[in-house]
Structure 1
Amino acid sequence: MVRLQPADLAALDSWIAAQDEEPTRPEAVRKLIRLGMTVQAE
C-alpha cells in the first residue's frame, strides 16, 4: 500500500480523469512508475 498526501492524491485523481480509459488508482500508480522509470535522467 502507498499512502499519499491529499495534494498528491488530488493530482493523481486529476491525471486519472485525463486518461482515455480511466485506470483505477493502483493501475495509475503502476503506470506512472513505469513511465517514470523510462525517462532518462537529465
Structure 2
Amino acid sequence: MSGHVNAIAKAAAEAVLRDRMRIAAIDMPPTVSDALDAWIADQPDPKPSRQEAVREALTEHLKAKGYLK
C-alpha cells in the first residue's frame, strides 16, 4: 500500500508544479497581439511560438526591472 500512496503523492506534486508553470490564456489588445506577431516574424527560423515569445518578452521585462536575475 505504501507504494500506491507514494505514487499518488508524486502525481499530486507533479500536478501542482505543472499548474504553477502554466497560464491557460492571456487576453491582449490587438495592438499588442500584432506587435508580438511582428516580433515573431522578425525572428530567425525556427520561429518561436506565441507562447515562447510571450515567455521571452516577460522574462526580459522582469530582468530589466530587476525582478528576475
TM-score, structure 1 as length reference: 0.81
Matched, 1:18 2:18: no
Q: Which has the higher helix share?
A: 2
How many residue pairs were aligned? 41
Task: Give the whole-Å Cα distance in 2 for the aligned partners of 1:9 and 1:40.
Answer: 22
Structure 2 residues not aligned, in runs of 5+: 1-24
Q: TM-score, normalized by length of structure 2?
A: 0.53
Q: How does 1:1-42 map to 2 (within 5 A)?
A: 1-20=25-44, 21-40=46-65
- Quote the sequence identity (%): 34
Q: Name the Cα RMSD after superposition.
A: 1.4
Q: Which runs of 4+ in 1 moved over 3 A?
A: none
